[in-house]
Amino acid sequence: MVREFLLTSEIAKAAGVHPNTVRLFEAAGYLPPVPRTASGYRMFTEFHRDQMILARLLLQWPYPGGKALVEEIVTHSAGGDLGGALELAYTYLAQVHAEQAHAEAAAKLLERWAQGVAAEPFKEPLTIGATAKLLGITVDMLRNWERNGLVTIPRNPRNGYRRYGSAEIGRLRVIRTLSRAGYSQMALLRTLLQVDRGAAPDLRHTLDTPGPNEDAAAITDQWCTTLAQVERRVLEALTLLERMIQHPYQKPRKP
């Protein structure tokens, strides 16, 4: 007798995951309810298979713009609202493109600053509190950037207080912009050190490429590459959703 349903192992193989992941996705509501045989075996359909592939494509960290929209796409599709899922997927693609544009704009600011274009008009040195207020960040963040080697702040020789002049504030604006665009502190550090050495032929490449003695500890150490990978997965998901909309799925018949 020909089996008219798919097994958990077959769904897992199609999606490139462990069978336990299929069970977890089912429990989380990322797959439609799965009927069982009299003996308790799950009876997956072609729709379950494609839905699992879709969920696996989209549910991978990071989630530019937030995970909520991604989960909404997957649950809409799992519930049979493929048209709604497709619409939301295009919204997610727009979010990814916005993150890419943000990262690109930050890289342009870095390049202009590295070329000597002033990022801050001349002004009298500020205290750490006034600088934090000016940049819209916390004092702890300023201290953390200094502690991690992103910036060196001169001190008042009389009292030892930090003095944030135009050069330091301009550098901090670049650091803040890159941080908010998603680049990691490690990516910033290797790039700023290259600028400080006067060797900055390709800062975008440096931002996105860990050095030979540097492990990529976080996805954001290679942020541009990561965003490009997310974009490719979303485009694959869109193609899959369009195919799912056209597919005449059939429900399994219990043996």
Spatial contact of 203 and 106, defined as CB atoms under 8 Å apart: no
- Does 198 lie in the same domain as 123? yes
| pTM for this prediction | 0.87
- What pLDDT does 210 receive? 85
107, 200: one domain: yes
User: Same domain, yes or no, for 118 and 233?
Assistant: no
Does residue 9 carry a pLDDT above 60? Answer: yes
Q: What percent of the chain has pLDDT over 90?
A: 76
- Render pLDDT for 17-47 as a digit per residue (tens, 0 to 9): 999 999 999 999 999 999 998 888 899 999 9
Q: Does a structural domain hold residue 231?
A: yes
pLDDT of residue 255 exceeding 80: no
Examine residue 251 and state whether it is found in any structural domain, yes or no: no
Q: Report which DSSP code applies to 5.
A: S
Instruction: Indicate if 128 and 25 belong to the same structural domain.
Output: no
Note the pLDDT tens digit of each residue in 65-84. Answer: 899 999 999 999 999 999 99
Per-residue pLDDT at 250: 73
List beta partners, residue 44: 6
Question: Distance between CA 78 and CA 56 in Å, rounded?
Answer: 13
The torsion angles phi and psi of 42, rounded to 5 degrees, stand at -70, 140
Q: Which two tokens stand for residue 217?
A: 């500890």
Tell me, yes or no, whether 105 and 212 share the same domain: yes
The CATH number that applies at residue 52 is: 1.10.1660
Task: Report the pLDDT value the prediction gives residue 213, as an integer from 0 to 100.
Answer: 67
CB 54 within 8 A of CB 240: yes
Residue 13, Cβ density class (10 Å: 0-12 exposed, 13-18 middle, ≥19 buried): middle
pLDDT reported for residue 160: 85
- Indicate whether 199 and 234 sit together in one domain: no
- Looking at the structure, do residues 128 and 198 belong to the same domain, yes or no? yes
**Separation between Cα atoms, residue 31 and residue 44, nearest integer Å:** 10
**Is residue 254 included in any domain, yes or no?**
no
Is 47 part of any domain? yes
Which CATH number goes with the domain that contains 117? 1.10.1660.10
Total domains in the chain come to 2
Using one digit for the tens of pLDDT, what is the confidence trace for 180-206?
999 999 999 999 999 998 876 789 999
Mark whether 69 and 150 lie in a shared domain: no
Q: Which domain holds residue 27?
A: 8-99+225-246
Same domain, 134 and 205: yes
Q: Are residues 128 and 219 in the same domain?
A: yes
- Specify the length of the chain in residues: 255
Whether residue 1 lies inside any domain: the answer is no
What are 125-140's pLDDT values in tens digits? 999 999 999 999 999 9
